Structure 1
Amino acid sequence: MTSLQRCTLLWGSADIHDDDPQVRVVDDCVYLPYSHGSVWGLFGSDGRPVLEAIDFREGVHIPGDQRLPGEGRIDVAAAEKHDTTYIYVGRINFHYGHFLVNTLPRFWNVAKIKTPNTKLLYHGPMSVEQIFSVPYIKTILSMLGLGPADFARFVSPTKIKHVVISKTSFEEQRAGFVKYKTLCHDIGSRILQNSDLSESVETLYFSKTRLKSAVGIITNEIEVEEYMREKGAQIVYPEELIFEDQLILMSCAKNIIASAGSFLHTSIFCPPRNIICLNVTEQINSNYTIIDRLNRNSAGYYYPTAMQVLPQQEGYLTARYLPEAKVVAEKLFEISRS
């Protein structure tokens, strides 16, 4: 008989903070531009990384590319010097999940502290024009009243007189701040205010069967999808929808069923959701739990003990096969109704 166990263990921690993240003004720092495989970030004149500017993982680990080797000296003799005050918003990451848990949380107080002439300083390989060419990023930033003219980056080492750094409101796999929920709810409310939410959807099933690349796949997920369709669930392929439509569908759904994926993070922009997740490991990545706790989602994560790990497939970091997929789908559907 197929066993489906409820996951209770977390990979990481999931603390919730009611207080505001710290804000610090850093004087006389050095901006090293982002370059894949090279050291980048904000550093003090002594070569030490500015800790408030770093996105730690599990609150402990400084990424290797944000630490200077050896004695930590920076040769910036020929660097430009800017006396302008900037607001630092970290690395802008194009990946949907990383944008939501690493990039966006830096914006929790931008509307409050930004003046019309203050630039938002960022790291990343992309130009401002490239950033705003990504539809969901453009939508989210525009909801904050931000456009291309508000952003700046440097392509060579640069001395900066003053940088305002707000610590992140989402510490990956460690903690979330209520300010992050408030930020996302405000964005969601602005998008949904002119939408018709009167027609509810009983069940949404978010499918990965059309993804060409991803962190992980279940190779026979189509069997789960077909069962959900037979039971009347509306099938959603999130990569085929614009951000606004994802938000509307998720906000209208009474029940959401999916395997773990970044698209579930979209719930932070919505009213509290009922979520049933097919988890491919026994532990829950605590980023999901942080969002569930902040948003007060009713969420259950379930692991099929018969899940099989397959050799890596092109385009995917991990691949798995789900024995008796239809039976698992039936149980997940029943749980969503209970």
Structure 2
Amino acid sequence: MFHDAFYMPYAPKRAWGLFDASGHPIRSAVDFRAPNVCTYDQLLEVGFASDLVAYEAAAGTYIYGGTINLHFGHFLINTLPRFWNISRIRTPNTRILCHSSSAPDVWFNFPFISRAFALLGLTKRDFVVLDRPTRLRNVVVAGTSLEEQQAGYRAYGRFGREIGSRIYKPDDVDQNTVPIYYSKSRLRSSVGIITNEAEIEDVLRDQGVDIIHPETLSLDEQVRLMSSRTSIMGSTGSFFHTSIFCPPRRITCLNVTSQINSNYVIIDALAANAATYHYPDSMQVLDQMDGYLTARFLPNAADVALELFDLARSKS
């Protein structure tokens, strides 16, 4: 717990975050994706102490809930890991103090966010975002249970399974042997896309694989589906992070880069997944397209689909 700390509201390219009484950043309240690289556009030097902050928050102890990320994957990587022990440290009247460019009313319009917080017994009334530098008499900062691109802690694995157990029933696990393939072909914006992924879908569909577009499913539906299938395939995407809520999964992923993103490795370790990442040498990088950070093309998409299917079948 920190006493006489202060809060600087979210402000890109300016100092924001939580600071102790002397004006030093509370590092356990900062998200890093490398030892000294902040995840967000965040400056950590304010140059003054708490006694120069005029406004003071209402009396009471706050719990710091970190920065609210509205992207599905980054919500599971950056935001939710800060709530790993919320049920143990929070009392019914304790407010959760967060940073965001928007208000809780906006966050709770995202169904996966409102559902995830509901599973923790939280509503938008439990959260507060401040709009000015504010002194805090007492603030509890629980360190995150996952550090983006760096490390994950077993607490997040346990936490994820606890949440998942409220969604699926043990009898539902591995009840369907029909393989599934998660596709991004219907997305109009994303981090990356395979422009001819529909060709992969066609081949896999002919092999008896169910094609899934995860953006059409609720969080509960995603967790139940992933928990129920014995063989899971897909092109790289944030939907694989949903496995943190599931029993250990067998995953065969079509990787769009030769390097495996370390966030996937971390989630696989915490969820005890048996995961294979397949990168075809034929993968071509295209010029950037509107709505996507990266674009790829597979000239031999049908062959790659069969390779992926064979890899998945060999793990069954």
Shared topology, TM-score over 0.5?
yes
Displacement after TM superposition at 1:249 (Å): 0.9
Aligned partner of residue 192 in structure 1, secondary structure: coil
Determine the structure 2 residue equivalent to 1:294: 270
Which segment drifts farther, 326-335 or 33-42? 33-42
Equivalent-residue separation in structure 1 for 2:131 and 2:310 (angstroms) = 54
Determine the structure 2 residue equivalent to 1:219: 195
Aligned partner of residue 179 in structure 2, secondary structure: strand
Equivalent-residue separation in structure 2 for 1:195 and 1:302 (angstroms) = 31
Aligned partner of residue 163 in structure 1, secondary structure: strand
Q: Structure with the greater relative contact order (CA < 8 A, sep ≥ 6): 1 or 2?
A: 1
Displacement after TM superposition at 1:129 (Å): 1.6
Determine the structure 2 residue equivalent to 1:110: 86
Determine the structure 1 residue equivalent to 2:140: 164
- Matching of residue 274 in structure 1 with residue 276 in structure 2: no
Aligned partner of residue 288 in structure 2, secondary structure: coil
The 8 Å contact of residues 179 and 230 in structure 2, kept in 1 or not, is answered as yes
Point out the structure with the larger strand share. 1
User: 5 Å matches for 1:249-264?
Assistant: 249-264=225-240
Aligned partner of residue 29 in structure 1, secondary structure: strand
1:215 aligned partner, one-letter code: V
Which segment drifts farther, 212-221 or 46-55? 46-55
Aligned partner of residue 227 in structure 1, secondary structure: helix
The 8 Å contact of residues 47 and 68 in structure 1, kept in 2 or not, is answered as no
The 8 Å contact of residues 49 and 67 in structure 1, kept in 2 or not, is answered as no
Determine the structure 2 residue equivalent to 1:154: 130
The 8 Å contact of residues 85 and 162 in structure 1, kept in 2 or not, is answered as yes
Aligned partner of residue 104 in structure 1, secondary structure: helix
Aligned residue among 77, 86, 98 for 2:62: 86
Tell me the TM-score normalised to structure 2 length. Answer: 0.94
1:119 aligned partner, one-letter code: R
- Structure 1 regions of 5+ residues with no counterpart? 1-24
- Matching of residue 210 in structure 1 with residue 175 in structure 2: no
Displacement after TM superposition at 1:74 (Å): 6.1
Determine the structure 2 residue equivalent to 1:73: 48
Displacement after TM superposition at 1:81 (Å): 4.2
Determine the structure 2 residue equivalent to 1:324: 300
Determine the structure 1 residue equivalent to 2:102: 126
Which segment drifts farther, 55-64 or 126-135? 55-64
Distance 1:326 1:183, change over 3 A: same
The 8 Å contact of residues 205 and 211 in structure 2, kept in 1 or not, is answered as yes
Aligned residue among 14, 24, 27 for 1:51: 27
The 8 Å contact of residues 31 and 40 in structure 2, kept in 1 or not, is answered as no
**Identical-residue share of aligned pairs (%):** 49
Equivalent-residue separation in structure 2 for 1:196 and 1:171 (angstroms) = 31
The 8 Å contact of residues 254 and 274 in structure 1, kept in 2 or not, is answered as yes
Aligned partner of residue 77 in structure 2, secondary structure: helix
The 8 Å contact of residues 10 and 17 in structure 2, kept in 1 or not, is answered as yes
Aligned partner of residue 89 in structure 1, secondary structure: strand
Equivalent-residue separation in structure 2 for 1:253 and 1:64 (angstroms) = 36
Equivalent-residue separation in structure 1 for 2:288 and 2:75 (angstroms) = 25
Displacement after TM superposition at 1:39 (Å): 2.6
The 8 Å contact of residues 46 and 72 in structure 1, kept in 2 or not, is answered as no
Aligned residue among 208, 212, 219 for 1:232: 208
Aligned partner of residue 318 in structure 1, secondary structure: strand
Q: After superposition, what is the alpha-carbon deviation per residue over 1:239-258, rounded to whole angstroms, capped at 9, x for unaligned?
A: 11111111111111111111
Determine the structure 2 residue equivalent to 1:4: none
Aligned residue among 307, 311, 315 for 1:335: 311
Tell me the TM-score normalised to structure 1 length. Answer: 0.88
Distance 1:66 1:43, change over 3 A: farther
Equivalent-residue separation in structure 1 for 2:7 and 2:174 (angstroms) = 49
